[in-house]
Structure 1
Amino acid sequence: MAQKSDIEWTDATWNPVTGCTKVGPGCDNCYAERFAERWRGISGHPYEQGFDLTLWPSRLKQPVLWKKPRMIFVNSMSDLFHKDIDRTFIDAVFDAMEQADWHVYQVLTKRSSLMRNYVRKRYHGGPVPRHIWLGVSVEDAAHASRIEHLKQINSDARFISFEPLLGPVGNVDLHGVAWAIVGGESGPRARPMDESWVRQIRDMCGRDDVAFFFKQWGGARPKSGGRLLDGEEWNGFPWQIVPEPIIRALQPEDA
């Protein structure tokens, strides 16, 4: 587990799975693939296998060993609901998250129907534990159906990552979503993001009472375009869904 993450909306990353395959245009310039493939064939490196889908059972015990509460992005280098990951391994990941329940886990997927179906079965239609946040990645209107799958999950801790935002998402109902993160693409082939697309999401968040976080404009590097929207930073965070025993450890003193 990383002790620190450079991702603005989390504290750390935990990767019991690495590697993935592409499922849409948001995957075209995948940062994780670009990073992992740099090390393919380097003997002994954690990414010796490049971006091939790989399960890491040895990492399942990491969260319980980390005693200080953190926001943990689960599988920043993969997708937990990839069709080739056996259900028993997903069970083991959820078991680990339930055991180390002093952390908040952020599970993000593009395979939204598979996530919905899994959590419905695991919790028998009941609520997902509040410290396990479930999210979907949506890059444009063509993939907005992932939001409806997310809303069909029994959870107060639903979130959406509109990153990389590649087009307008249209007028979507965000009621029941706690948090929206928006960001432009970064890297050598970064596609531009239009200001109107971001404003539309910001305004829908205001309308539907969703915390709005604007991460970056993107460009050749993540920070190339800065992160100001209409002259200000937008750092919305859904404190209302953080379990009470965790909130004091996570919340900054001036929040």
Structure 2
Amino acid sequence: MSDGSAIEWTDATWNPVRGCTKISPGCKHCYAETFAERWRGLPNHPYGQGFDLRLVPEKIAEPLRWRKSRRIFVNSMSDLFQDGVPVEFIRSVFETMNRAPWHTYQVLTKRAERMRSVCAGLPRDLVQQPQIWLGVSVEDRKYGLPRIDVLRETPAGLRFLSVEPLLEELGRVDLRGIDWVIVGGESGPGARPMQEKWVISLLEQARDADVPFFFKQWGGVQKGRHGRTLLGRTFDELPVARRRAAPRDDERREPVRLEVLA
């Protein structure tokens, strides 16, 4: 786990899975792939295999060792619901999120259909917990908007949208059953520009639906120069989260060790 994440809407990251594959236009300039491929071939490095899919069972229990409550982005360097990740492994991640409920877990995917299928097959009380937030990426109308309907059909304690990178005007977005909207532009080399009117449209729709709105960044090749203010202010709204106090050390329980598959 990495504490003190630079991602504005989270506190830390947890990566029991590494690596991914591109499936839609939002993946074109994947920051995680760019980072991971720097280290390909380096012996004993966590990303010595580049961005190839890799399960990391030894990371499964990591949140149990964190005493301070955090918002944790689950698999910032991957997608938990890739076809190559076994259901048993996904279940073990949910078990940890249940055994360490003093954190809030932000699980984001572009594989909305598999998330719906896997979550529907797991025990409802394992999936539908207030500390487990399930979200989908929404980058455009063709690929992104259909994921919202699938997310609405997925059992979850809280549902959110990460509209990043926002690549075009989305038009009317159905926010029924959605509890949080994040919006951001693409950053880094080759970043595709985002127009202010696209963002304002989403802000207004979130206001109309009474959904918290978080504006992450304008992005660009040098995102720091463009900042993250919108209409002269920052939008750092979050859903109301119920966090429990972390237990004493002698009360902690480690999940059952997986016999999976690295």
* TM > 0.5: yes
Q: Is the 8 A contact 1:175 1:210 kept in 2?
A: no
Matched, 1:198 2:193: no
The CA distance in 2 between the partners of 1:125 and 1:140, in whole Å, is: 33
What amino acid is aligned across from residue 101 of structure 1 in structure 2?
Answer: P
The CA distance in 2 between the partners of 1:222 and 1:12, in whole Å, is: 21
The CA distance in 2 between the partners of 1:90 and 1:8, in whole Å, is: 26
* Cα shift readout 1:112-142 (whole Å, capped 9, x = no counterpart): 1111111111134996111000000000111
Q: Is the 8 A contact 1:138 1:162 kept in 2?
A: yes
Matched, 1:89 2:89: yes
Q: Is the 8 A contact 1:112 1:150 kept in 2?
A: yes
Q: CA 1:78–1:165 in structure 2 vs 1: closer, same or farther (change >3 Å)? A: same
Counterparts in 2 of 1:171-210, with a 5 A limit? 171-210=172-211
The CA distance in 2 between the partners of 1:127 and 1:85, in whole Å, is: 17
- Could you tell me which residue of structure 2 aligns to residue 162 of structure 1? 163
Deviates more, 1:130-139 or 1:170-179: 170-179
| TM-score for both structures, normalised by structure 1 | 0.92
- Could you tell me which residue of structure 2 aligns to residue 249 of structure 1? none
Q: CA 1:203–1:87 in structure 2 vs 1: closer, same or farther (change >3 Å)? A: same
Cα distance, 1:67 vs structure 2: 1.4
Q: Is the 8 A contact 2:124 2:155 kept in 1?
A: no
- Could you tell me which residue of structure 1 aligns to residue 117 of structure 2? 117
The CA distance in 1 between the partners of 2:12 and 2:48, in whole Å, is: 22
Cα distance, 1:152 vs structure 2: 1.0
Task: Give secondary structure in 2 for the equivalent of 1:52.
Answer: coil
The CA distance in 2 between the partners of 1:244 and 1:12, in whole Å, is: 15
Q: Is the 8 A contact 1:165 1:184 kept in 2?
A: yes
Counterparts in 2 of 1:55-94, with a 5 A limit? 55-94=55-94
- Could you tell me which residue of structure 2 aligns to residue 226 of structure 1? 227
- Could you tell me which residue of structure 2 aligns to residue 212 of structure 1? 213
Deviates more, 1:100-109 or 1:227-236: 227-236
Q: CA 1:139–1:177 in structure 2 vs 1: closer, same or farther (change >3 Å)? A: same
The CA distance in 2 between the partners of 1:232 and 1:102, in whole Å, is: 31
- Could you tell me which residue of structure 1 aligns to residue 244 of structure 2? 245
Q: CA 1:127–1:95 in structure 2 vs 1: closer, same or farther (change >3 Å)? A: closer
Q: Is the 8 A contact 2:179 2:212 kept in 1?
A: yes
The CA distance in 1 between the partners of 2:58 and 2:35, in whole Å, is: 22
Cα distance, 1:225 vs structure 2: 1.2
Q: Is the 8 A contact 1:139 1:166 kept in 2?
A: yes
The CA distance in 1 between the partners of 2:111 and 2:27, in whole Å, is: 12
Q: Is the 8 A contact 2:36 2:47 kept in 1?
A: yes
* Cα shift readout 1:65-102 (whole Å, capped 9, x = no counterpart): 11111100000000000011111111111111111111
Listed as ranges, the gaps of 5+ residues in structure 1 are 247-255
Listed as ranges, the gaps of 5+ residues in structure 2 are 246-262
* Cα shift readout 1:32-86 (whole Å, capped 9, x = no counterpart): 0000001111111111000000000010111111111110000000000001111
What amino acid is aligned across from residue 204 of structure 1 in structure 2?
Answer: Q
| TM-score for both structures, normalised by structure 2 | 0.90
Q: Is the 8 A contact 2:17 2:78 kept in 1?
A: yes
Q: Is the 8 A contact 2:15 2:59 kept in 1?
A: yes
Task: Give secondary structure in 2 for the equivalent of 1:114.
Answer: helix
Aligned-residue Cα RMSD (Å) equals 1.4
Q: Is the 8 A contact 1:173 1:208 kept in 2?
A: no
Cα distance, 1:154 vs structure 2: 3.0
- Give the length in aligned residue pairs: 244
The CA distance in 1 between the partners of 2:55 and 2:79, in whole Å, is: 11
Cα distance, 1:176 vs structure 2: 1.4
Cα distance, 1:206 vs structure 2: 0.6
- Could you tell me which residue of structure 2 aligns to residue 251 of structure 1? none
Could you list the runs of 4 or more consecutive aligned residues of structure 1 that deviate by over 3 angstroms after TM superposition? Answer: 124-127
Task: Give secondary structure in 2 for the equivalent of 1:181.
Answer: strand
- Could you tell me which residue of structure 1 aligns to residue 128 of structure 2? 128
